[in-house]
Amino acid sequence: MSLYERLSGARTDTADDQSVDGQDMFEAPSSAATDPLSEIRRRTHLELVRALGPRLYDQRTSPEALEEAVKEQLTEVLRKEATPLSQSERQRLVAETLDDILGYGPLEALLNDDTVTEVMCNGSKQVFVEREGHLHLSDAYFLDDGHLRRTIEKIVGQVGRRIDESQPYVDARLPDGSRVNAIIPPIALDGPSLTIRKFAKEKYTAHDLVTFGTWSQKVAAFIDACVRGRMNIIVAGGTGAGKTTTLNVLSNFIPDDERIVTIEDAAELQLTQPHLVRLESRPPNIEGRGAVTIRDLVRNSLRMRPDRIVVGEVRGGEALDMLQAMNTGHDGSISTVHSNSPRDTLARLETMVLMAGVDLPVRAIREQIASAVQFVIHQSRLKDGTRRISAIAEVTGMEGDIITMQDIYKFDWGMGVDHDTGRALGYLKPTGIRPKVAEELVDHGVQIDTEWFEPEAFAKDEQRAASAGTRRKARV
């Protein structure tokens, strides 16, 4: 069944609207049940889809021509509508229907709201948003599960992906790069679920992260030196810690005269260098064929003469291929890994190499990791919703069967919390240890400032960054 047929046909397998028991913040908006325009919106939407047909999904139709056709047809549909409508109701109906057909329906206003960083639809009647790191139940809602399902299919269809009963979950992206995950019944028991992590309209810079309090100027200068000095770096942290934003900033430290290949599940990186090749994995088609994995792309990228390989996230057997690349002349590679600490990052890399299905002894894997990775930058999401760099650790080698590490910077958790703002008062402090690779960086022509590693000289700069972050909450 085609996308057009699925959207225009009357769906009979959607779940009935259900009320949600429990606390007030989890109750569906009352307007969802009392809105007199809901049924008219549903009829109008389906009538427009039937009338305009495949023109709605024809990539050759310009947005201006499509909008004009929708407006003309909408006027005709409303002229035949028997229910009397006031002028304000008609204007609202037109605006909401245009959002449904040309945009993303009830989500359109939330996606255009710069204060919203994440949108989460738990079924059709609950739409939560994240603002400044805190969750709020919005007034937005979908008419029914079928309405939400059509919106999901529209989003994933725009990037050539599909979602149906045989493939009930999907990762995708919006045209602006915002990350999308959708999952539908029978896997999602309470109706379709949609999660959108928005990307800022303006690309964040190192200075922005200083303003947010994520790091300080001296930390930014040190990491800039590491990237220009072709150190292999892993950005680690939990879900929502801001790893991709930090990876974006680190990637923009790469000189413009180098060839960069980026590899991602869903293209999210926003690099500005002129010599850039972007690769994106592909899921299998409806016959279960044609899949292109991250591991396939990493192996292929080695034949593309890259100066740098940037992998959006390592989560499986591609870890082995990435470590091989780092150890065979592709210095300066950067990637992200989900983990709880710098030490845990190395343990996860070891586990993911084993997922590649290659029978390697554990010591050989650890030697590969110790040789390939120079720095682990660990990022945390604090209770107040801000994202902060919590540790920068250097991998120094092997002692017996153990990979050795040393902390160059470590977040001071002992300074407590500001009772007025709820913000952690600690900041990222140098441990006083000079990195083992400092001489290697100098050999690469990168200048190193000894003040970056001296706690006394560092304190004033870090406190200034923490103060700036208090005035402006982190939204990365």
CATH value at residue 121? 3.30.450.370
E strand or H helix at 207: helix 206-212
Whether 23 is covered by a domain: the verdict is: no
Residue 194 and residue 221 in one domain: no
What does the pLDDT read at residue 6? 44
Strand residues in 295-355 grouped as ranges (E): 308-311, 334-338
Residue 176 and residue 252 in one domain: no
E strand or H helix at 179: strand 179-183
Look at residue 36 and give its three-state secondary structure: coil
Domain boundary among 130, 165, 199: 199
**Encoded tokens for 221:** 């200068």
Residue 229 and residue 176 in one domain: no
Beta-bridged to residue 195, according to DSSP, are 120, 181
Mind listing the pLDDT tens digit of every residue in the chain (476 residues)?
Answer: 444 444 444 333 433 443 334 344 444 444 444 566 677 777 777 777 777 666 665 656 666 777 777 777 777 777 777 667 777 777 777 777 777 777 888 898 899 998 999 999 999 999 999 998 889 999 998 888 988 998 998 899 888 888 988 889 998 888 888 889 999 999 999 999 999 998 777 788 899 998 888 888 899 999 999 999 999 999 999 988 889 899 999 999 999 999 999 999 877 888 889 999 999 998 887 777 888 999 999 999 999 999 999 999 999 999 999 999 998 888 899 999 999 999 999 999 999 999 988 888 999 999 999 999 999 999 998 877 788 999 999 999 999 999 999 999 999 877 767 766 667 777 888 999 999 999 889 888 898 888 899 887 666 665 555 555 444 444 44
Residue 184 and residue 213 in one domain: no
Look at residue 94 and give its three-state secondary structure: helix
78 exposed, middle or buried (CB, 10 Å; 0-12, 13-18, 19+)?
middle
Contacts 24+ apart (CB under 8 A), 43-48: 43/81, 44/74, 44/77, 44/78, 44/81, 44/93, 44/97, 45/97, 45/100, 45/101, 45/147, 46/8, 46/10, 47/77, 48/73, 48/74, 48/77, 48/97, 48/101
Whether 337 is covered by a domain: the verdict is: yes
What does the pLDDT read at residue 69? 76
Whether 32 is covered by a domain: the verdict is: no
Whether 129 is covered by a domain: the verdict is: yes
Beta-bridged to residue 29, according to DSSP, are none
Residue 193 and residue 216 in one domain: no
Longest Cα–Cα distance of the chain, Å, equals 82
Residue 257 and residue 364 in one domain: yes
Helices and strands, counts by H and E, the chain: 16, 15
What does the pLDDT read at residue 296? 93
Pairing verdict, β 276-280 and 334-338: unpaired
Q: What CA–CA distance (Å, rounded) separates 5 from 54? A: 9
Domain boundary among 144, 175, 199: 199
What does the pLDDT read at residue 61? 65
Residue 163 and residue 220 in one domain: no
Q: What CA–CA distance (Å, rounded) separates 466 from 476? A: 15
Residue 180 and residue 326 in one domain: no
Whether 430 is covered by a domain: the verdict is: yes
**Encoded tokens for 168:** 């009930």
What does the pLDDT read at residue 21? 40
Q: From the CB of residue 65, how many other CB atoms can be counted at a distance below 10 Å?
A: 12
Q: What is the CATH number of the domain that holds 374?
A: 3.40.50.300
Q: From the CB of residue 55, how many other CB atoms can be counted at a distance below 10 Å?
A: 15
Residue 442 and residue 389 in one domain: yes
Domain boundary among 199, 215, 241: 199
CA 433 vs. chain centroid, Å, equals 33
Residue 212 and residue 177 in one domain: no
Where in the sequence is the domain holding 185, given as residue range(s)? 104-199
How many folded domains does the chain comprise?
2
Residue 191 and residue 288 in one domain: no
Q: How many residues does the chain have?
A: 476
E strand or H helix at 261: strand 260-264
Residue 159 and residue 284 in one domain: no
